[in-house]
Structure 1
C-alpha cells in the first residue's frame, strides 16, 4: 500500500485573532474588576451607604487596564485613615485589602475569557 500525501490550506487572519483576544482580555478585566468591587463593597465603611453606592468598575480597552473606584469627597480619607472606627465587618483599606486577596480569582477570570476566545 502506498500512501498518498494529503495537503491542507490554512488561512490565518492575524488581525481578527488579535481583535478577539483583546476583546476577551477586556471582558476578563471587567469581570475581575467587578469581582473586586463586590468584595470591596462588602467591607466598605457604611453610614448612609453613599460611599458604597459610588463604587464603580471600568475598563480601558485600548490600554487593557481596569479600575475600581469609589467617588465621594471622603473616599480616600476613609480608605487611608486607620484610626477611624467602623461598624463590624467594615474597615479602612476597603479597596486595597480585597484587591490583594482576590489576585488569583481575578487572574482566573481573565484566563477563562482568554481560553474561551482561543477555542
Structure 2
C-alpha cells in the first residue's frame, strides 16, 4: 500500500473564511441600510443621507445608524406623522424583516470562499 500524503492549509482557509465573513457582514449591513432608507421619514433627505453602514472586521459585527440630532425621536416617537411608506421604527422594522436575507448574504460569501 502506498503512503498517503496530506497537506494541511488550515491557517490559509481560516484567513479566507474570516475575510469572506467580513465581506458578507459588510454587504449585509449595506443591504439593511438600503432597505431602511426606503422607510426612513423624509422631508429634506437629511436623515436619510446621515445613514451609514459600518463593520468591525475584528469582531465580525456590523451596524446601521443614522446621525442627526432628531434621528432617535423620529425613530421612537410613534405619534409623529410621516409621508406614505415612511414610518417610525424604520430601522428596527427593516432589521427584523431583512434578518434572513442578511444571513443568506453572509452565508453566500462564506460558501463562495470555500470553492
- Bucket of the pairwise TM-score, normalised by the shorter protein: over 0.9
Aligned length: 115
* Counterpart-to-counterpart distance in 1, 2:96 and 2:43: 25
Unmatched 5+ stretches in structure 1:
none
Unmatched 5+ stretches in structure 2:
none
Runs of 4+ in structure 1 over 3 Å off = 5-8
Establish whether residue 13 from structure 1 lines up as the match of residue 14 from structure 2: no
CA RMSD of aligned residues (A): 1.0
2:21 maps to: 25
Specify which structure has the higher proportion of helix.
2
Q: Which residue among 56, 59, 63 is the counterpart of 1:60? A: 56
Q: Deviations over 1:65-85 (max 9, x none)?
A: 000011111111110000000
* Counterpart-to-counterpart distance in 2, 1:18 and 1:44: 38
Q: Deviations over 1:73-115 (max 9, x none)?
A: 1111110000000011100001000110001111110000010
Query: What are the within-5 Å matches in structure 2 for residues 1-119 of structure 1?
Result: 5-119=1-115
Q: Secondary structure at the match of 2:90?
A: coil
* Counterpart-to-counterpart distance in 1, 2:6 and 2:109: 25
User: TM-score, normalized by length of structure 1?
Assistant: 0.92
User: TM-score, normalized by length of structure 2?
Assistant: 0.95
